[in-house]
Every structure is written in C-alpha cells, then in structure tokens.
C-alpha cells in the first residue's frame, strides 16, 4: 500500500463510474467513511461529470488511464457489467488495487484475465457482494453453525416488481451478461458459499423465464439509470430496444459432498412484496431467514427462526438501516487490502461463482430447446 494508505491514514480512493451504484451506494459511504478519502472520480459521460463537479469535490477524470498509481491506493469500480473486467484488468496491470462488487466478471475467461493482470501488475483484486455483511445474515450463520452437518440450503430473492433500468443496459445481454441470475443470483451464490465454505458443484441444473422483463410496470422504482445519461460511454440502448435477458432463474445444485442447493432469483413475480428467504437444513434442525436484500422500499422485515423436533422459535434480531451492509463492507475492506492472503482469493471466488452461473445458463439453454407444455398437459 502506498504512503497515504498506511495504517492511521485514509486510503486514497478513486471511484470509477458515476452511474446509479457509484452515486447512490459507493460515493456517499466513501465520502463519510473515516478510513477513506475519495481523491478522484472517473466518468466518461460529460453531462454526469458536469453535474458532479463543484466546490469541494475530488478531481473528476474522463478515463481510468488518467489515474496515477502513485496516488491511488484503491479503485472502486462501479461501471456497467460488461466493463467490470476490462476496466479492472487495465487498472491491475498498472498496479492499482481494485474493488469490484458483483458481478466481478461475466465469464470464466474474464476471471482468468483478471488473475493474470493481478499477477502481472502487483495490484490486488478485492471482490464480493455485501449480503454477508448484513446483521441478519450474520445471525443466520451463527445459528447454522449449531445445526450439525448441513444437508440442504434453499435461497431465493423474489421481487414483486423490480426490473432494474428496464429497456436499458441492465436488460441487454450484451451489456449485462445476463438478467436476474447475474444480478441477484450472484448475491445468493455468495451467501451459499459463506455458509458452506469452498465446495465444488458436481451437478447443476437450471431454467430461466422472461415473462416480466419488458413490462414497464415491473420496473424498479428506486433506481433510474437511463434517465441520467448513459452511465458509461456507448451503453445507451437504441430506441425501441427490448430486454433479451431473463427476469427469473431457478437452479438446483449438488456439491461434491452431497449437499443440495435450491436457488431462485426473480426481478419480478406475482408476489405482493420483495422477499429474500434463506433456509438451512441440518441434521439437528432448520434455520430460516426471511428478509429483503437490496434497496427496494417494498420490503419484508427480517425474521429469523430455528426449528427442531417440531418446535419453531423466533430468534431476536437487531434492526439496522437499509444499506448498512455496504458501510460495514467498507469497514472490512481496508483490512483485506493489506492482508497478503487476499491476493488471488477474490479472483478464485469470482471464477467459481461465474462458473456455476455459466453452468446454469447452459442447462437452461438445453432445456429451452424443448417447449414447455401448457398447464394440465403433462404426462399421464
């Protein structure tokens, strides 16, 4: 770490990308955090740069090539999905450490490129999703530790209506890499990984559907990427473009140790509220967390229960403000930045996650070659 990132001094951060995530999630939390000093922001869209620039704001740059490795301790990359790996690769080759929220990459090949850039440039890639920093998820982990060997995990994040930036880059497969599976599913798989530890999945089966992705009424009300510029040069959709990604993905996975995982990620559904539910079944009982990940205002309050021998008991949870997990993630990020064990770990985890996502999509494509039967027309 360079001089300004030494212990006791703020980490000098460059925020790359001023789209919704950059402006709404990372900028306000980095700006207020005592461990960090935002010294530069990078945004190719001039209209967004002009709105952001002002008295007291950090340097506003056009391209990540304008960043100086000698004065940048960490680059927080918050650009559209298809630019995650290319931007991070360039920065890592120049020796600049990078933090990437999900999706870290859109293919195993991109993960391998990031690994090579990390080795060649000397900068470390820090990766992950914020869900595991939630208080309720941490409480679930503690509860699951007392369930004995885990036999099955059921994870689902189902929104009533929450297609992000419907009709924009988020619903373009070329620009996003996928739909709800890449977006919400990455958080779910990361949560599974934190519960099970390092595992390999021997069996992966998946299906996808797109019943709601082009419905204007199902658009996420809490984010408006497309209304404020293109978020990155060349990413704006052409007029009349429609989404070509899934709004729902379902999967069933089995680890090499015989633990099964059922997964569902839905941007929209017939439900009344946006709900995340995680159930962990062990030899000694079952733990279930019902809550809502993310920033949707149409939320389910957090409820954690333990069931054993026919008795269900609710476990008290401390409340926390929406988005607190992102600030908590920053608390941990500085230690990860200086920990030599971080080198290679982020890429390895991302490679495994995107590998599972690729398998789920491959299975879904195979299943999609056979048209589903209408209700009531199954085999008899």
Compute the mean pLDDT over every residue in the chain, rounded to the nearest whole number.
89
Q: Which of 97, 129, 161 is the last residue of a domain?
A: 129
Task: Please check whether residues 117 and 151 belong to one and the same domain.
Answer: no
Task: Please check whether residues 39 and 114 belong to one and the same domain.
Answer: yes
Q: Is residue 316 part of a domain?
A: yes
Task: Tell me the percentage of the chain whose pLDDT exceeds 70.
Answer: 88
Q: Is residue 187 part of a domain?
A: yes
pLDDT of 380 above 60: no
CATH number of the domain enclosing 320: 3.30.360.10
Residue 68, domain extent: 3-129
Q: Is residue 96 part of a domain?
A: yes
Q: Is residue 83 part of a domain?
A: yes
Task: Please check whether residues 31 and 95 belong to one and the same domain.
Answer: yes
Question: pLDDT confidence of 129, banded at 50, 70, 90?
Answer: confident
pLDDT of 281 above 50: yes
Of 158, 334, 175, 169, the residue nearest 237 (C-alpha): 169
Q: Is residue 111 part of a domain?
A: yes
CATH number of the domain enclosing 53: 3.40.50.720
Task: Please check whether residues 196 and 211 belong to one and the same domain.
Answer: yes
Residue 220: CB partners within 8 Å, gap ≥ 6?
159, 161, 162, 163, 164, 165, 166, 267, 296
pLDDT of 165 above 80: no
pLDDT of residue 55: 58
pLDDT of residue 240: 53
Task: Please check whether residues 244 and 310 belong to one and the same domain.
Answer: yes
Average pLDDT of the residues in 331-355: 95
Of 162, 102, 124, 128, the residue nearest 292 (C-alpha): 162
Task: Please check whether residues 139 and 125 belong to one and the same domain.
Answer: no
Residue 324 half-sphere exposure, CB side, CA atoms within 13 Å?
Answer: 11
Task: Please check whether residues 103 and 181 belong to one and the same domain.
Answer: no
**Least confident span in 94-103, 202-211, 238-247:** 238-247
Q: Is residue 293 part of a domain?
A: yes
Q: Which of 113, 129, 145 is the last residue of a domain?
A: 129
Average pLDDT of the residues in 233-241: 46
pLDDT of residue 235: 44
Task: Please check whether residues 83 and 70 belong to one and the same domain.
Answer: yes
Preceding peptide of 103 cis, ω within 30°: yes
The per-type count for the chain, helices as H runs and strands as E runs, is: 10, 14
Question: pLDDT confidence of 39, banded at 50, 70, 90?
Answer: very high
Q: The dihedral of CA 326, 231, 250, 269: what is its sign?
A: positive
Average pLDDT of the residues in 349-377: 81
Q: Is residue 335 part of a domain?
A: no
Task: Please check whether residues 32 and 154 belong to one and the same domain.
Answer: no
Q: Is residue 305 part of a domain?
A: yes
pLDDT of 54 above 90: no
Task: Please check whether residues 182 and 313 belong to one and the same domain.
Answer: yes
Q: Which of 129, 153, 184 is the last residue of a domain?
A: 129
Task: Please check whether residues 124 and 226 belong to one and the same domain.
Answer: no
Question: Alpha-carbon distance 128 to 26, whole Å?
Answer: 14
Task: Please check whether residues 121 and 141 belong to one and the same domain.
Answer: no
Question: Alpha-carbon distance 312 to 327, whole Å?
Answer: 33
- The tally of domains found in the chain comes to 2
């Amino acid at each position: 770490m360079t001089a300004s990132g030494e212990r006791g001094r703020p980490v000098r951060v460059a925020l790359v990308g001023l789209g919704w995530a950059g402006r709404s999630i990372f900028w306000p939390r980095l700006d207020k955090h005592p461990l960090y000093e935002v010294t530069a922001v990078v945004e190719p869209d001039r209209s967004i740069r002009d709105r952001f620039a002002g008295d007291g704001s950090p340097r506003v740059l056009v391209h990540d090539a304008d960043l100086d490795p000698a004065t940048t301790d960490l680059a927080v990359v918050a650009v559209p999905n298809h630019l995650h790996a290319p931007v991070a690769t360039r920065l890592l080759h120049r020796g600049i450490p990078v933090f990437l929220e999900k999706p870290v990459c859109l293919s195993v090949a991109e993960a391998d490129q990031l690994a090579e850039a990390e080795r060649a440039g000397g900068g470390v890639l820090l990766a992950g999703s914020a869900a595991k920093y939630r208080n309720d998820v941490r409480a679930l982990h503690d509860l699951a530790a007392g369930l004995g060997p885990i036999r099955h995990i059921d994870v689902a994040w189902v929104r009533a209506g929450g297609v992000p930036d419907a009709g924009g880059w988020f619903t373009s497969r070329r620009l996003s890499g996928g739909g709800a599976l890449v977006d919400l599913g990455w958080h779910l798989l990361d949560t599974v990984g934190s519960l099970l530890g390092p595992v390999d999945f021997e069996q992966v089966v998946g299906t996808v559907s797109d019943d709601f992705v082009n419905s204007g009424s199902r658009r996420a009300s809490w984010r408006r990427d497309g209304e404020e510029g293109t978020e990155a040069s060349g990413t704006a959709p052409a007029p009349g473009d429609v989404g070509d990604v899934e709004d729902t993905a379902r999967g069933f996975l089995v680890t090499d140790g015989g633990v099964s995982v059922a997964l569902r990620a839905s941007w929209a559904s017939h439900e009344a509220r946006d709900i995340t539910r995680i159930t962990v079944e062990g030899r000694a009982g079952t733990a279930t967390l019902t809550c809502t990940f993310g920033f949707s205002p149409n939320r389910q309050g957090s409820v954690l229960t333990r069931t054993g021998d026919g008795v269900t008991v609710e476990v008290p949870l401390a409340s926390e403000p929406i988005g607190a997990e992102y600030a908590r993630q920053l608390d941990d990020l500085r230690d990860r930045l200086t920990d030599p064990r971080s080198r290679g770990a982020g890429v390895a985890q991302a490679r495994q996650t995107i590998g599972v996502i690729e398998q789920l999509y491959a299975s879904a494509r195979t299943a999609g070659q056979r048209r589903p039967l209408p209700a009531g027309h199954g085999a008899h």
